[in-house]
Structure 1
Amino acid sequence: MGTTFSIQFIIGVTICSTGVINIAIMEEVEDDITKTSWIGSTLVGTYTSLGPIAGVVQQKVGARITAMAGGLLMLLGMSVASFCQTIIGLLLTSGLLAGVGLGLGVNVIGVIPGQYFRKRRPAAYGICMAGCGAGLFVGCPLSQYLLHYYKLHGTLLIMGGIGFNMCVAGALLRPAHLVRPCPLVDAKGLQTQECVVLKTSENDDTTVMSQADERSFCLVNMKTTEFSQVRQYVATQLHEMDSRNEAEQIQKRLCSNWRRLRKRFDIFRQYSFWMYCLSIMLWSLGEAAWIFHLPNYAEHKGRSPAEAASLLTAMGAGSMFSRVFAGIAASDSNIDAVVLQVGLSGLAGIISFLFTVGPFTYGSLLARSYFYGTYSHGINSLIGPIIINLLGVPHVAVAYGIVCFFCGLGNLLGPPIASILYKCSGIYEYTYVFAGACLVLSSISTALTKMC
């Protein structure tokens, strides 16, 4: 649990810093909010939309190697980004390459608690997901401090070093204890011989005997024939038997592979699962626009850069509380996790609408940021338990990756859509109206999951 908490903390620090670093990119590289917003949205969108590939990788190589590979890619992407002077270079390095590293790490977090915990699984998810809230709490002041002393490129280099700590956390992961089938043994404790089924032509009785016994059976019934004919007949029978056994083994392997393939893709026939994916995409669409433009919006309303950064810190404090509380609440058998998510996303949408009205004092913005983080970020702790309830533990790795892919679509499109709305209208409030509408639609889609 400590390992997954640490990986989530690193992810939270990296994601939270995108909004603050975006301001530095506009000051040092290019002053175009529409272009620079694609860097942060590519990072967030890649690390979530990579979910299906990350799920397959984790099934093949295990959680430990997957997390360590994510740390190496984070170090490589951010280190190369510290030397880039163009938007395209930053997009490919700190956006795409580092996003792939985060994507490998986030899939480990979504799968490991479900494999280790059974009785209090949602509570375990909540504690693990609280690491991202802690990262949000620390990430904004940390990125402000680094930008003040080391500027943009030094900050990117240090962020790569922070992401490299996923290798240390991944090395501490232990493989889950899985139940494996035991080989078939006889009464003496020895492995049984491979037998073949022989069917006689007279009464169609089925007799089970070893291959050596079948050869003797053939020889006894052919004693009256010449030796050369016996030898030719036995050779023919043995060749046909070997060919038949080989064909049966090939057919069994093909049937077994087809059954495994059908089981793996059973999730594509679950309409409730696809409705839940839609709700997650709408939620991430509003969430990404909300977080990414919060520092710019606060400075637009007359707040200082330090005050604008502290709004994300307040949201991180609410996020830590919400993630743990949502996980504990979902552990109660009397509380439905789907109904809980409906309420959380609906209240988050209402707070997003209220963010555009009322006084814009520092205290009021701080309170609204805290309550938004409290209601919206609790959904992160419910994704894993809801997927397990819908599909079961065997499908959780691939299913979590698919959900992350839809989440990545929202994270990829949210900031650019909000930037286009602001650039076309000149009104920042439209960003939070758009985010609130997405969150309310997400609440409705989650409710439809029960109907499906």
Structure 2
Amino acid sequence: MADGKRRSGAVEPLDGGWGWMIVGCCFMVTVCTRAVTRCISIFFVEFQAHFGADYAATAWIHSLVDCTTMLCAPVGSLVGNRWSCRVAVMLGGLLSSVGLLLSSFSTSLELLYLTLGVLTGLGFALCYTPAIAMVGCYFHHRRALAFGIAMSGSGIGTFVLAPAVQMLIELYSWRGALLVLSAFVANLCVCGALLRPIRLREGEEEEGEEAESVGEEKLGGLVSSKDAELAVSLPKEPSVPLPLMAGNPAPQLPRRRCFSSCFLSIKEYRFLLLPDFLGLAVSFLFLASGCSLPFVYLVPYALSVGVRHQQAAFLMSILGVLDIVGNITFGWLTDRRCLKPYRLASYVLAVAMEGLCCLFTPLLRSFSLLVPFAVLYGYFDGAYVALIPVVTADVVGSPYLSSALGVVYFLHAIPYLISPPIGGWLVDVTGSYSPTFFLSGVSLLSSAVVLSAITGIRHCRRLMLTPAAKR
């Protein structure tokens, strides 16, 4: 780079090259984390028979894995920012593999809560957020497509692993199946080793530079003008550098600008003061409260209205396949020049369509009517999942993506833990699945309404700032 004041060795996102290897690694991370988590429910019948437990007791294992993965997501971000995404994913792969290995020797359900629920979930948490953040480091112009391909590992992995796990249980019992899964999840260490750190341009190092210069030039041209506008609204600290990107080595700071690591950690999370992110956080809470209920209760509802077992299971297969299609196609579409400025609106549309599908579910009382529901819900579920990192980056800016994703997935933890039991309680009290699907639909529509309000406020704010800038 001609300008000698730039950091040496800093580069722009590659949008290709080794970036596609990063996408492939993130794809495998989602297979080994999210898909394996979904397949844990296959072991429930075996756990019930072996330990003499009921469904409620065994279901806590799945809830603990999911909750721990999301609850500890900020830990993954912190490890990725402090050392590197490579270290975080390799350490997470080791912990989750050990957790599954120890689970195969468990002698009680309580021990499974600890090994399979907490230890494996912690390992998944260390892998999930840093791997996704690395995709954001390597891609800018084709970011939505890259995220879509990477996140499709959840659907594809579920589609492939579910029958494979069932076959392993039949051949080697549940203990042998967990041993094989332990070896499979150890591949996360290989994926982590391939996450080559990339050093993004962070701006000028000139002494005495004013904080008001934060913008596209300050962020090295890595973010859009919309990101730069939001970055200006962050608390200005001229003497503190921008947060470290995931996978970057720590730059050497002059002694007079050195602060404790605790204070630096606070700076990495100063995006929390953005009003836009606070609104986004509220939206994610509503989203997490409603998105998992259809996956839990679609099959029981279908059976309650007379659908055969094989057909009910086929509905879940449709959900999984269309989830994959939504991941990739929606990511590709929103990367088009005509739709890129409307990615947040596209995300709102996907969430709102899911909510409407849930509201109409009690009217669908046959297999032929439930198939369109599975198609639409599965597609739009994949669409919004692929856009979560994109929308988050658009709101907080690329330098804060890793930390922001940790907070975003942390917000999913408690709703994931309590919403299925609440849905089951509604079924027990009312004797109908309608209130459960209404709860899901209202939660998803509330999430869309909150985001729509954010979009409107941002648009009005830009209209107010434009005349002021011209003066």
Alignment TM-score, normalising by the size of structure 1: 0.77
Q: What is the rounded CA distance, in whole Å, between the counterparts of 1:260 and 1:171 in structure 2? A: 27
Q: Is the 8 A contact 2:269 2:404 kept in 1?
A: no
Residue 304 (structure 1) shift: 6.0
338, 344, 348: which one pairs with 1:342? 348
1:109 aligned residue: 131
Of 399-408 and 284-293, deviating more is 284-293
Task: Give, in angstroms, the shift of residue 321 of structure 1.
Answer: 0.8
Change (3 A) 1:144 1:284: farther
Identify which of 344, 350, 358 aligns with 1:352.
358
Query: How far, CA to CA, are the matches of 2:109 and 2:198 in structure 1?
Result: 42
* 2:353 pairs with 1:331: no
Does residue 316 (structure 1) correspond to residue 320 (structure 2)? The answer is yes
**Alpha-carbon deviation of 1:254?**
5.3
The question of whether the paired residues in 2 share the 8 Å contact of 1:51 and 1:103 is answered with yes
- Counterpart amino acid of residue 73 in structure 2: G
Determine if the alignment matches structure 1 residue 448 to structure 2 residue 453: yes
Counterpart pick for 1:269 among 268, 273, 276: 273
Alignment of 1:370-385 (within 5 A): 370-385=375-390
**2-structure distance, mates of 1:48, 1:292:** 18
In structure 2, the CA distance between the partners of 1:306 and 1:159, relative to structure 1 (3 Å rule), is farther
2:91 is equivalent to residue 69 of structure 1: yes
1:153/1:281 CA distance change after superposition, 3 Å = farther
Distance between the aligned counterparts of 2:51 and 2:440, measured in 1?
28
Partner residue of 1:368 out of 368, 373, 376: 373
What is the aligned partner in structure 2 of residue 79 from structure 1?
A: 101
- Using the alignment, how far apart are the partners of 2:101 and 2:298 within structure 1? 27
CA deviation string 1:187-244 (max 9, x = no partner): xxxxxxxxxxxxxxxxxxxxxxxxxxxxxxxxxxxxxxxxxxxxxxxxxxxxxxxxxx
Greater share of helix: 1
| Higher Rg | 1
Aligned residues: 387
Give the distance between the partners of 1:100 and 1:176, measured in 2 at CA: 25
| CA contact 1:46–1:100 (8 Å) conserved in 2 | yes
Q: Cα deviations across residues 294-314 of structure 1 (Å, max 9, x unaligned)?
A: 444455555666554443322
Structure 2 contact 315–371 (Cα < 8 Å) conserved: yes
Match of 1:224 in 2: none
Contact 2:319 2:377 (C-alpha < 8 Å) held by counterparts: yes
The corresponding residue for 2:395 is 390
Determine if contact 1:66/1:104 at 8 Å carries over to the other structure: yes
Distance 2:56 2:260 in 1: 51
Answering whether residue 56 of structure 2 is matched by residue 50 of structure 1, we say no
- When structure 1 is superposed on structure 2, of 13-22 and 441-450 the one drifting more is 13-22
Aligned residue in 2 for 1:278 = 282
Determine if contact 1:140/1:312 at 8 Å carries over to the other structure: no
> Does structure 2 retain, via aligned residues, the 8 Å contact 1:136–1:313?
no
Q: CA deviation at 1:331?
A: 1.6
Q: Residues 300, 392 of structure 1: CA spacing in aligned structure 2 closer, same or farther, 3 A cutoff?
A: same
Question: For 1:250 and 1:142, how far apart are their aligned partners in 2?
Answer: 55
Within 2, Cα distance between the matches of 1:298 and 1:144? 22
Q: Which runs of 5+ in 1 are unaligned?
A: 185-248
Displacement of 1:51 after TM fit? 1.5
Deviations 1:336-362 (A, max 9, x none): 12111111111111222333332333x
Name which structure has the greater RCO, CA cutoff 8 Å, separation 6+: 1
Quote the Cα distance in structure 2 between the aligned partners of 1:144 and 1:428: 28
Whether 1:131 aligns to 2:153 is yes
Alpha-carbon separation, structure 2, partners of 1:126 and 1:278:
24
CA RMSD of superposed structures (Å): 2.9
* Paired AA for residue 143 in structure 2: R
Percent identity of the aligned residues? 25
Q: Which residue of 2 aligns with 1:221?
A: none
Distance between the aligned counterparts of 2:419 and 2:204, measured in 1?
50
